[in-house]
Structure 1
Amino acid sequence: MWALRRLPKPLKDTRISIEASYAASAQLQTSSYFIEETGTAFGSCQTISDKGLSLLRFYHSRHASTNSPDRRCGLSSQAGAESSEEEDDFEDGFSELETPANAETKGDHIVKDETEDGLDSDKELSGDIEETASNELELLETETDVRDKKSSFRRTTSELFKAIISAPGISIYKALDKWVEEGNSISRTEVSSAMLNLRKRRMYGRALQLSEWLEVKKQLDFVERDYASRVDLIAKVHGLQKAEDYIQAIPKSSRGEVIYRTLLANCVTSNHLKKAEEVFNKMKDLEFPITAFACNQLLLLYKRLDKKKIADVLLLMEKENVKPSPFTYRVLIDTKGLCNDTSGMDQIVETMKAEGVQPDIHTLSILAKHYASAGLAEKAEEVLKALEGDDIKQNRRGCRFLLPLYAELGKVDEVERIWKVCESKPFFEEYLAAIEAWGKLGQIEKSEAVFDRLLATSKKLPAKYYTKLLKVYSDHKMLQKGKDLVKQMADNGCQIGPLTWDALVKLYVEAGEVEKADSVLQKACQKKEIKPLFTSFMVVMEQYAKRGDIHNTEKMFHRMRQAGYVARVRQFQSLVEAYINAKAPAYGIRERMKADNIFPNRYLGAQLAQVDAFRRTSVSDLLE
């Protein structure tokens, strides 16, 4: 089925190796299975071949020896592997949904090559699956269980949840004690409902306190899923290391595969390449079965950080006879789309159908997005018609995808038509899609009208609904309207978080007020609860770099480190650009990269040559 190359060694010997050495040259070797790098500045995206007998076929590198006695399946973080990386939007990132957030943790990432932010693409992928509300359940339970419980939670309101969110101060323990003293009973359904709602609102600290209280007070008999939920919450609140430490305290009888796949999912959420590979190896050492979930986590991580390793994961899946899930195909299609390889996308879809898996609404939306981005309007429209189905009124789930995608194609009439289907009683996601769509079409008044109608539906909307309109203002450089909207958010009691900061920072940058954007970001950094997005820092840093402002570019680089973001190639590219534009040598820049375990891609290598204070030129040779 897979038509991938065979390995000479049994898979029980296969490990994800963590090897790192520094290579200063811009021309790096590459990992075992890949297509040769093209001449683009940001490296090759041609990991996934267009030619395959079944799912994919990978070309072998010219330097990899097939008869080496020590050769293994290389899901390795080798110095020789170039890669590309995108930053995710701030999503919840825990679940079968397999779409992590852009929360970084400190660690030894080995990141060499990057494309654009990747926000739109990864956000599309994350939006494909039912979002944050059911994240915990989707990871820990079967699809049927999830559907039944989600339906149950919609019908009932958790009184326990109300008691938790009404608790004053940081601690909720007294509120929980009081709730029990008043004669309320604790049932698993009540707890699950409360947890679900806390996660939906990103109230991870309170969810963790609830979990701790339940165990200390012995209100529930903890099973593996309860421990896994705790691992996830600890990782979100206190970081991966604390989550790992907690795993050692879990009874051995409950320390199963679900525990470790939860940790793996959080490593991927954190874009922590080394730690994710270590956890995957640990699962193999413990002889847990290799599942599509675990492999999909790696695929998603490598899609961001090292596309060439996707081949190795697929080879491992072939050897272990792990059947690709729809999400597997979706990641591969999205990876091809990010590389503007539409013919490759088509081939994967053909293979998907041949395996009896029909593209669902989420897959179709990804295809349409990439066709539109590639300028293939007719193919995009064809896919959108398939997504729409015979009767869009009976297929309302597609409206939230169709609105922004038709707007991407500039189809005003189609956006109007789809919105009329929703207009009588829109879902929240349809409101957001309409705000975005009208914004893309430049019809700001219609975006505002949809937002005003959305605002009238609830006394207190979450910040993400405001952020959608704020992004529209940012895209159209409407600074004053953006300021007024943020003030409205504050007046309405919205919690201002990373998404709002990001939109506000970009709003100021688009308006040419970089120093004000810097000030907003600095104030956001002072809030210890949660850090700004990676892209918020980068958009300011890149503006300073364009000016040749070395001092402020270095300052942003330092702030990112203080916020907990490890160094990446993109940061060094901006940093070196500042030195280039200032016409100043960058002393010690290679040593700094080496210390951060960063390997230059072709583009960065060319930049480094320009700021090398000791480089030899034809003029310097004459003057000696």
Structure 2
Amino acid sequence: MHSTIFSLLVLKVSSGSAMKLRSRFQPEAVGSYRRLLCSLAASTHSVEESSMKSTITKKSIKSEILRSKSPTRSPIAVLQDWIKSGHKVTISELRFISLQLQKSKRYHHALEIMKWMEAQKGFQISSADHATRIELILKVQGLTEAEEYFSQIRGTANQKAASLPLLHGYVKERAVEKAESLMMKLNELGLLVSPHPFNEMMKLYMATSQYDKVPAVIMQMKQNRIPTNILSFNLWMNACGEVSGVAAVEAIYREIMNNGNVEVGWSTLCTLANVYVKAGLVEKAVLVLKNAEKKLNTSKHLGYFFLITMYVSINNKEGVIRVWEACKSVSGRMTCGNYMCMLSCLVKLGDLVEAEKVFVEWESNCKNYDVRVSNVLLAAYVRNGLMEKAEAFHVYVLEKGGCPNYKTWEILMEGWVRSQDMEKAIDAMKKSFAMMKGCHWRPSEAILMSIVEYYEKHGNFQHANHLIRMIHHFGLASLPLYKVLLRMHINAQRPAFNILKMMVKDKIEMNGETSACFSSLCKRESARE
């Protein structure tokens, strides 16, 4: 008989100040939720997908829908046309199509397929279908709609399958009360039989700095004889590291070692090492990390880069290089992201020579010249005051086929402003502005202020006015920027009514100095009249 879960969660495990968790040392947390859903769906769909792959012809409902990539054309219209023309469609085909649409990140269309499928009387909807639909609703519509759909699901098996993606949605939105309410409902229905929902709750408490609630979740799992997996232990260790100290974490680690159902891997050892690092026990951390190196998987790169970042955090270059060299023997190509991580780590360690070697290695292996990789080295040159080297490197990247992005121009802008090469900085700013329509990047106010002040110093009224209008257009204007432009209007004896209109539109309130500037301009205009 399950006890009421959250009667325990309100208990305080210990007192003490809570520090912000470095959650990056929970690598299995990233994939555990997705793996669970995939395994759930696989039990229903794996045979169907296999048969689909062998029978789909060039002209099929699958190819008809996937070929039409227009966001405005509904796949339901294609389905209906297909059926009207005398064809049939099976639930296996619809599941396969929905899966392919999700892989292409066409979540809205995938949701339409699932809705249509569930509305048909001749199809038997599985528990995995309900879970998939909840997940898609969360991506496309949000929590409220997902909750509404969940409330309509009947049958304990269906509710159990759909509860995990909904709970994951609560965790993502940091909705603690809703997550706790859902857990209480699942507990009353007797549906809390695996560690996965409990792990989600612990992740939520960690994310909201409620570390003292995590041990209570573990206690509830033990009382209800829910098996604790390695993620459960890692979350528990991290929480105790925040509120109870090293001794409590070491006690948990000993419990893991005595638990025959879980295997200690590199992730658990990284978690322990991180606790030691925070406590200033660097020597202990190094010993644990060396042990973790022995646990690394020779078929996946992920663990190697967690260890590399751990060694960087304790300024251990020897460990970084050792793990990097071992990483090269792992099967499969390293991604641009892997090289960016290694370059960033070497830059943090201040070893630009080694970073250059890694960059040359990337160049020899890359298929496409990804400017994000070269940007890491470019930024290192700029921030170390090596502008000549940065400019030469930028030209080299262009010659190799690299296409600058907004970050490239931001890095160069920063360097040229620092070295007072303002004309080059202005040129880079114009090029970065041309890219702003397609991304969320925005230049820093400090850079913009430097350029506007440069215009003021040289009395370049027209260029300053044009820049402020552009800044206003992108919603980047601030009171200090407008103050510079106001001073320039006063010096140039120009009217400033347009500036006032822009400030009102940008909802920027005037301070005493700005009001005085406007008063001065207004008096001058009145005198002229």
SS at match of 2:191: coil
Q: Establish whether residue 262 from structure 1 lines up as the match of residue 168 from structure 2.
A: no
Q: Establish whether residue 349 from structure 1 lines up as the match of residue 253 from structure 2.
A: yes
Q: Deviation per CA, 1:545-585, whole angstroms, max 9, x where unpaired? A: xxxxxxxxxxxxxx9xxxxxxxxxxxxxxxxxxxxxxxxxx
Q: Distance in 2 between matches of 1:471 and 1:509?
A: 21
Q: Distance in 1 between matches of 2:29 and 2:39?
A: 16
**What are the residue-to-residue correspondences of 1:306-321 with 2, within 5 Å?**
306-321=210-225
SS at match of 2:235: helix
Tell me which amino acid in the other structure corresponds to 2:169: N
Q: Of the candidates 406, 414, 426, which is equivalent to residue 486 of structure 1?
A: 406
**What are the residue-to-residue correspondences of 1:20-419 with 2, within 5 Å?**
32-37=11-16, 44-45=17-18, 115-116=19-20, 118=21, 121-125=22-26, 127-128=27-28, 131=31, 136-139=34-37, 141=39, 164=66, 167-173=69-75, 177=79, 187=93, 190-191=96-97, 193-194=99-100, 197-198=103-104, 204-215=107-118, 221-252=124-155, 255-305=158-208, 306-339=210-243, 341-356=245-260, 357-389=262-294, 398-419=303-324
* TM-score, structure 1 normalization: 0.52
Q: Deviation per CA, 1:129-187, whole angstroms, max 9, x where unpaired? A: 564xx8545235269969x99x99xx99x996996486133555279649969999864
Q: Deviation per CA, 1:176-227, whole angstroms, max 9, x where unpaired? A: 64996999986477447525624xxx65434434433544578974311111
- How far apart are 1:423 and its partner, in Å? 4.4
SS at match of 1:141: helix
Identity of aligned residues (%): 19
SS at match of 1:364: helix
Aligned CA distance change for structure 1 residues 346 and 233 (closer, same or farther; 3 Å): same
Q: Distance in 1 between matches of 2:450 and 2:136?
A: 36
Partner of 2:341: 433
Q: Distance in 1 between matches of 2:356 and 2:312?
A: 16
Q: Deviation per CA, 1:11-43, whole angstroms, max 9, x where unpaired? A: 54555699xxxxxxxxxxxx5333234xxxxxx
Q: Distance in 1 between matches of 2:109 and 2:384?
A: 38
Aligned CA distance change for structure 1 residues 233 and 17 (closer, same or farther; 3 Å): farther
SS at match of 1:255: helix
Aligned CA distance change for structure 1 residues 415 and 226 (closer, same or farther; 3 Å): same
Count of residue pairs the alignment pairs up: 407
Rg larger for: 2
Q: Deviation per CA, 1:68-124, whole angstroms, max 9, x where unpaired? A: xxxxxxxxxxxxxxxxxxxxxxxxxxxxxxxxxxxxxxxxxxxxxxx44x4xx2233
Partner of 1:547: none
Q: Contact 2:15–2:243 at 8 Å: present in 1 too? A: no
Q: Distance in 2 between matches of 1:514 and 1:312?
A: 53
Tell me which amino acid in the other structure corresponds to 1:386: N
Partner of 2:422: none
Q: Contact 2:355–2:377 at 8 Å: present in 1 too? A: no
- How far apart are 1:421 and its partner, in Å? 3.5
Partner of 1:76: none
Aligned CA distance change for structure 1 residues 366 and 454 (closer, same or farther; 3 Å): farther
Aligned CA distance change for structure 1 residues 387 and 233 (closer, same or farther; 3 Å): same
Aligned CA distance change for structure 1 residues 394 and 295 (closer, same or farther; 3 Å): closer
- How far apart are 1:233 and its partner, in Å? 1.8
* TM-score, structure 2 normalization: 0.60
Q: Distance in 1 between matches of 2:29 and 2:127?
A: 25
Q: Deviation per CA, 1:245-297, whole angstroms, max 9, x where unpaired? A: 11234354763211122211211111101111111122123332343212222
Q: Distance in 1 between matches of 2:143 and 2:289?
A: 40
Compare 442-451 and 425-434 and name the one that shifted more. Answer: 442-451
Tell me which amino acid in the other structure corresponds to 1:441: L
Q: Distance in 1 between matches of 2:344 and 2:368?
A: 22
Q: Contact 2:171–2:200 at 8 Å: present in 1 too? A: yes
Q: Contact 2:359–2:374 at 8 Å: present in 1 too? A: no
Tell me which amino acid in the other structure corresponds to 2:253: V
Q: Contact 1:330–1:363 at 8 Å: present in 2 too? A: yes
Q: Distance in 2 between matches of 1:223 and 1:524?
A: 48
Partner of 2:511: none
Q: Distance in 1 between matches of 2:318 and 2:39?
A: 42
Q: Distance in 2 between matches of 1:189 and 1:460?
A: 37
Q: Distance in 2 between matches of 1:328 and 1:440?
A: 32
**What are the residue-to-residue correspondences of 1:437-516 with 2, within 5 Å?**
437-443=345-351, 457=366, 459=368, 469=376, 485-486=405-406, 501=441, 508=444
Q: Distance in 1 between matches of 2:359 and 2:72?
A: 32
Q: Contact 2:202–2:235 at 8 Å: present in 1 too? A: yes
Q: Distance in 1 between matches of 2:76 and 2:408?
A: 34
Unaligned runs of 5+ in 1: 1-9, 19-30, 38-43, 46-114, 527-558, 560-624
Q: Deviation per CA, 1:452-503, whole angstroms, max 9, x where unpaired? A: 8768745597x9x679949976995999989965356999x999777xx5xx
Q: Contact 2:2–2:188 at 8 Å: present in 1 too? A: no
Aligned CA distance change for structure 1 residues 229 and 468 (closer, same or farther; 3 Å): farther
Q: Contact 2:212–2:239 at 8 Å: present in 1 too? A: no
Tell me which amino acid in the other structure corresponds to 1:141: S
Q: Contact 1:290–1:322 at 8 Å: present in 2 too? A: yes
Tell me the C-alpha RMSD between the 2 structures.
5.4
Q: Contact 1:208–1:233 at 8 Å: present in 2 too? A: yes
SS at match of 1:271: coil
SS at match of 1:287: coil
Tell me which amino acid in the other structure corresponds to 2:129: D
Q: Contact 1:451–1:469 at 8 Å: present in 2 too? A: no
Greater relative CO, 1 or 2 (CA 8 Å, sep 6+): 1
Tell me which amino acid in the other structure corresponds to 2:350: G
Q: Contact 1:16–1:280 at 8 Å: present in 2 too? A: no
